[in-house]
Amino acid sequence: MQDLQTFLNVRETLANFLLEDIGSEDITSNKIIPDDLLARAEVICKSSPAIVCGLEEAAIVFDICACKSEILAKDGSRVKKGRIVMKVSGNARAILKAERVALNIMMRMSGIATETRRMDDLAKGVTVLATRKTAPGLRYFDKKAVVVGGGGTHRMRLDDMVLIKDNHIALAGPAEKCVRLAKKNIGSSIKVECEAKNMKEALAAISAGVDIVMLDNFTPKQAANTIRQIAKMGMRKKVKIEISGGINAKNIKQFAQAKPDFISLGYITHSPKAVDFSLEITR
């Protein structure tokens, strides 16, 4: 965790996840397992290959339930099916009480990290960014998983930077007017990005002084032509270029060949394929 406040916020969020899952009690464990029984367990990866992520958060979940944990792999490392990534010990009921929340966090975060790493490898030198298309309440965990996978967070919240999108332009446009208004009202300390639906709009936004232009829903050919034109006009070094919309594992190489600075992907956080982990009691 970056700082104490982040740690405390994350711990509180995880405690709330436990409350949501447990309710008033774990009625099954409490009725059949002795309350003083001690146990040991292992958390095992059931998918291969996978980029493991969420071990720190899982350890906090077990700690909240008064269990001890030993992390045996590093977040961001590639693990194979069957790898033991964590050992847990403590009260048997407490281990089972923490199990599902800890595993759910790891499964989701590892899934996001794994797909981010795959896309980052395909993009070869272009920074892969997440978007704000995250599950409510999971923004911190989803974005951290992207970073662990080798990507960037883009905006965490609306107050991070100005991002002028199509609906802003529809209400206050055109694009160059929106950029000038933002620059005038926000100052120079906060970056201004503007979405563009075609080359003309991208060039207008750059001429207005935008810091980052987003080529939204361009084809690979359209993106390449636009970036070449920006360079031809001597503006390439004045602006960062992001490509977004309709990008996946099948076409990301083509988009990367246009040499943007960033490629943003919504699906890595809104539709991640979980990496399977299980907790096995070893007594």
Q: Which residues are tagged catalytic?
A: 133
Q: How far is CA 201 from CA 31, 185, 197, 220, 247, in A?
A: 66, 21, 7, 17, 21
Distance, CA of 93 to CA of 236 (rounded, Å): 60
Whether 102 and 61 have beta carbons less than 8 Å apart is answered as yes
CB neighbourhood size of 38 (10 A): 12
